[in-house]
Structure 1
Amino acid sequence: SWVLFYLTIHFLVRVGFSQTLQVDDAEQIHHAQQLALGYPIPQPPLYSWISWGLFQLLGTGLFALTLLKYSLIALTFWFTWLVSGYLFIHIQTRWLATGAYLLMPSFAWHMHQGFTHTILLGFAIILTLHALLRFHHTQSNFNILYLGTTIAIGLMAKYSFLLFIVLLALAALTIPSFRKPLLTRQGLLLFIPLTLLTLPHLGWLLEHQQEVFNAIDNKLKVSSEHLLLERLDSLRQFTVAAIAFVTPFSLLYLLIARKRLLPSKEAKNLPDTHQLLNRFYLLLITITVLLALFISMPHFKVRWFHPLMMIFPLWMLAWIEREEPFSQTKIRWIAGLTLLITLLILGIRLLQVTIGPEIGKYGRLNRPIVESLEQLPDHLKQQSVLITTDHFLAAHLLSHYPQHAIVFNQEIFHIDQLSRSKQCLYLWDDDTLLEPPILAGVDKQGTLKTKVGPIVYTLSYARSDRESCPPFMR
């Protein structure tokens, strides 16, 4: 299908033109070296667990992480198609709902640039909505267990999933056809997978709650000390960011379907699935306004709005769908704009990883880290412990040197290789603000310079014998 073709092209662009990691990928390389109940990110561990599993199968590195990313994105598209089957009359509307992501910046652009946990969050959101609609349609034990599992996946994907599930649960409980089956004995089965899958991490979270919540608070900057006008201004900023998340999708449909925005005769008998989406956004607006009266709204970047705005296209399309489908002229306009934006983004990504530096757009993906590491003479790398204090450089070492012990900030990776090492090789580059290491017993050192456009990347190295290695390694 067109979705698989679209994702395959982006996958090939990512792995084919640059082996340099993005920040989020580098973070996963570090954390997924081992399984743990939690990681100091601060995010839940599910994405790192899946990464660890793929590293065991495919090796640590960019290929495994990129395959994971685009597999989750493909599943998100697929389950959006399945969800749309419970919501819409026309196949045409189902296609529009599935393609809507390509008109939303966080999906059309940001998901290709660096998302990890957020991609799993997006999948969990649409998966949970599918599970709820499926249980609403057929009240079976399997479906309620499925719903509990999807909620657990969401909570283990990203903490902000809590915003989505609270609103969705409240919306469902206001509608009798959703509420009654959920509040039966069968509904209690939901808590079996939910508890089993989240309890281990919850124990870890209770032990580390101070550091996790402090990190989240520093990001959101919520306060009750501001004046009312300042709180209202924070509400304005919050609203603008929410609208930006769904633009140009919302703008396009406001123009094309403006005559359908007013309630129709059909609105008097809305199906409960549509009421669910209506009440989700009614609750969101109500709670947001009430909160703004007492606290300043959290500092939400546009790309953080997945829990609140990801299902907005489904709600908007449910609102404007009628017995009569869109005309072919309007469909061509929607398809044309979607294709134009998609090709534009693909073109920008290709420029970014090819001639970006030559036109003054030198970015992280252009750093020739792997190319510089490959220039290191073999006699320097053989039987060497590779040591760095640079988080980003360490991730590339972990990806490309599985047969070497690697030390980052006194933490030893691939420790089984340590006994075979006879020397230490220190590495640092000019892209870090860290000071070069103070070394003793160095018998060889130098620099490797790699030019990318007008930019020169410098990788420095210094070798010492085993006796001069850091004491904790001897």
Structure 2
Amino acid sequence: QVDDAEQIIHAQDLLLGYSIPQPPLYSWLSWGMFKIFSTGLYALTLLKYALIALTFWFTWLVSGQLFQHLQTRYIATFSYLLLPSFAWHMHQGFTHTILLGFGIILTMHALLSLKENHSIKNYLYFGLALGIGLMSKYSFVLFIIPLLASAISISSFRYLIINQKIFLAIAVFILMVGPHTYWLTQHYQEIFISIDQKLKVTSDNLLLDRIKSAGQFAVAAIIFVMPFALIFIINSWKRLFNTDKQVITDDLTLLLNRFYLIIIVSVLTLTLFVSMPHFKVRWFHPLMMIFPLWMLARIERKELLSKSIMRWFAGITIIFTILIFSIRIAQVTIGPELGIYGRLNSPVIETLNKLPDHLIKNSAIKTQDEFLGAHLLSIYQDNDITINGIFYQNSVTHDNNRCLLLWDDDESFLEPSATQNIDSGELTTMIADTK
């Protein structure tokens, strides 16, 4: 995947920031994994699924702080498997967003732990969680601002936030984000220009256009939580809308209620002045990842949910999970046989393995293609490699008696020109049998 290739390239060095519009924490973790397991997809996959496992585990812990029934805790923990943007992209396409999801649920756990015990340890933990969240992805601010605003609006939480001990949390937070913030002051233009190009926020549109953009924003948010939300809207709508007047109200439920109230009010207010940013469904983690917790807080009663609802939830979750895994397996097995391929199953490694050993030995390797370059860094760790003009020396200093130029003719890169060519050729890997 492109994101994995990006990490292989950037995590070759431990820097305060990288030329991608993301904080460096995931790249730092990748760098550490490469030092332990060597550069490659194995280390990145191990890191990714370790973070996913931690996200599920901390969701289980948070659900224990929020809910009274074991049944509700199971639903909350496995709810991610019914959020397609999470369930699908956690296997394909996400790197920083996986760390963001962990940062979000870690921050929830830290805040609720602080509510349970106002100890110095929990204040330090809260600062650490905030630092991890912001250093995972800049969009974490879309989560923490409404969360802190809702917490301050509740007296029991306000006491925790407006407290001398909070400076301990702030100190830990500054220690974590300070070095990167300094780097950001030197490179803010390239980062924020890239973010602005993604979001496409403008104030020039007519009010009707701004309302339309808000509608599209809302639809994308709703799609993010389907089919999980639909299951409980159909089966538990009386509880959800509190027609039975038995909803459990406490400060924790109130925190979630006000979190989403603040988001709704903010969106409506912004619509009066600017068009809502162009938000893809898979970008809604900061706003919608804890939506299942809010929904279950509305639904839970002293009585358990019926067995039929649990059968619906379990059945759809199992079917959905099997479907996703089946498609993923088909992508890398059946897909190539049918001639259907993309970044996920492009036969780069198979093609590179055709290069003769004598050609690779004592050769410096050069390419302009960063995706191809990431594969080179993974495979040829004893060679000096130049990717798009940047030199990576992966081995001890040695004499290179030739330079090997590689490019992918399926991409928009021009065939490189060079003087004193010793030889040139083409490697072709067939994706499927064709006639």
**TM-score of the two chains, using structure 2 as the length reference:** 0.98
Q: Partners of 1:53 and 1:436 in 2: how far apart?
A: 35
Deviation at 1:357, TM superposition (A): 2.9
Distance (Å, rounded) in 2 between the aligned partners of 1:325 and 1:270:
17
The equivalent residue for 2:211 is 232
- CA offset at residue 259 of structure 1? 2.1
Q: In the alignment, which residue of structure 2 is the partner of 1:19?
A: none
Partner of 1:265: 245
Mapped partners of 2:418, 2:386: distance in 1? 15
Which runs of no fewer than 5 residues in structure 1 stay unpaired?
1-21, 457-474
Alignment CA distance shift 1:348-1:455 (3 Å):
farther
* Counterparts of 1:238 and 1:197, CA distance in 2: 32
Where does the alignment leave 5 or more consecutive residues of structure 2 unmatched? Answer: none
Q: Which residue of 1 aligns with 2:275?
A: 296
Distance in 2 between residues matched to 1:187 and 1:410, nearest whole Å: 47
1:352 to 331, 352, 369: 331
Matched, 1:423 2:423: no
1:350-387, Cα deviation, whole Å (9 max, x unpaired): 11100113335322222111111111011110100011
Percent pairwise identity: 56
> 1: distance between equivalents of 2:409 and 2:284?
35
Aligned pair 1:445/2:424, yes or no?
yes
Equivalent residue, structure 2, for 1:157? 136
Task: Kindly indicate whether the alpha-carbon contact (under 8 Å) linking 1:357 and 1:454 is maintained by their aligned counterparts in 2.
Answer: no
CA deviations 1:82-120 (Å, max 9, x no partner) are 000111110000000001000001111111111000000
Counterpart of 1:463 in structure 2 is none
| Partner residue in 2 for 1:27 | 6
Distance 1:448 1:223 in 2: 47
Give the length in aligned residue pairs: 434
2:295 aligned residue:
316
Match of 2:423, SS state, is strand
Find the counterpart in structure 1 of residue 391 from structure 2. 412
* Counterpart pick for 2:382 among 403, 406, 413: 403
1:88 aligns with 2:67: yes
Q: Normalising to structure 1: TM-score of the pair?
A: 0.90
Does the residue aligned with 1:365 lie in a helix, a strand or coil?
Answer: coil
Matched, 1:122 2:140: no
Equivalent residues of 2:201, 2:276 under 8 A apart: yes
Deviation of the 1:416 alpha carbon = 4.8
What secondary structure is seen at the aligned counterpart in 1 of 2:185? helix
Matches within 5 A, 1:91-106: 91-106=70-85
- Are the aligned partners of 2:72 and 2:296 in contact in 1 as well (CA < 8 Å)? yes
> CA separation in 2, counterparts of 1:133 and 1:429?
51
Between the aligned partners of 2:24 and 2:354, the Cα distance in structure 1 is: 36
CA–CA separation in structure 1 for the residues paired with 2:218 and 2:120: 40
What code does the residue aligned with 1:413 have? Y
Provide the rounded CA distance (Å) in 2 between the counterparts of 1:88 and 1:439.
Answer: 67
Please report the RMSD computed on the Cα atoms of aligned residues, expressed in angstroms: 1.3
> Partners of 2:20 and 2:123 in 1: how far apart?
31
Q: Residue 114 of structure 2 is aligned with which of 131, 135, 138?
A: 135
| 8 Å CA contact 1:366, 1:452 repeated in 2 | no
Equivalent residue number for residue 178 of structure 1: 157
